[in-house]
């Protein structure tokens, strides 16, 4: 577990989310709203699935 959680907003582009995951060596990212409340999670599998569909 990391001391400071890394999260993204729902407006974060998929390539940026992938870059953050790669740079931070993490496999999932919480997605938060404008009030910093969690609204979901994105995983490596989600990114692979999105790329495979294109």
pLDDT score at 46: 96
pLDDT score at 49: 94
pLDDT score at 11: 96
- The domain that holds 16 is classified in CATH as 3.10.580.10
Q: What are phi and psi of 34, to 5 degrees?
A: -65, -15
Dig out the tokens for 49 from the structure: 């699935």
Structural domain for 27, as ranges: 8-53
pLDDT score at 2: 60
Average pLDDT by consecutive 10-residue portion of the chain (54 residues)?
A: 85 96 96 96 96 82
pLDDT score at 4: 83
The total of structural domains in the chain comes to 1
What pTM did the predictor assign? 0.83
pLDDT score at 47: 94
CA distance 50 to 15: 11
């Amino acid at each position: 577990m990391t001391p400071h959680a890394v999260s993204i907003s729902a407006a974060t582009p998929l390539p940026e989310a992938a870059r953050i995951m790669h740079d931070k060596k993490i496999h999932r990212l919480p997605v938060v709203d404008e009030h910093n409340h969690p609204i979901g999670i994105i995983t490596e599998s989600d990114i692979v699935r999105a790329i495979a569909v294109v």
